[in-house]
Amino acid sequence: MKNSKDYDLLLSERKKIVLRLLTVIIFSYFSFISVIAFNPNFFGQLIANTFYSIGIVFGFLLILLIFIVTLFYVYLANKTLEPLIKNIHKQFK
């Protein structure tokens, strides 16, 4: 009963999207944490002639990245996954 081309496509598309975004998040977060654990001095350096430390800049960028990833996922889900899900709903009503 669950054999439908749309369903197979949905699973493969979703897997692709989720794995890529998950990798981005986990990789960047644990890189951030690892620098703090192994090389904290790097984050303490100030960018030339300013009071912005590298750690604070990366920290703010990471907050931004986390939000962008969620936004991007919804964009991709609406574009590629939702049409497939709608078709499946019609098929299995």
Are the C-beta atoms of 67 and 60 separated by less than 8 Å?
no
Here the tokens at position 32 are 């951030």
Q: How far apart are CA 22 and CA 43, in angstroms?
A: 24
Least separation in angstroms between CB 20 and other proteins: 10
CB neighbours of residue 82 within 10 Å: 13
Q: Print the binding letters for residues 44-73 with other proteins: x by CB under 8 A, - otherwise.
A: x-x---xxxx-xx--xx-xxx-xx-xxx-x
Here the tokens at position 38 are 């192994």
DSSP structure class, residue 78 = I
Least separation in angstroms between CB 87 and other proteins: 10
The residues of the shown chain that bind other proteins, judged by CB under 8 A, are: 2, 7, 10-11, 14, 18, 21-22, 25-26, 29-30, 32-34, 36-38, 40-41, 43-44, 46, 50-53, 55-56, 59-60, 62-64, 66-67, 69-71, 73-74, 77, 82, 85, 88-89, 92
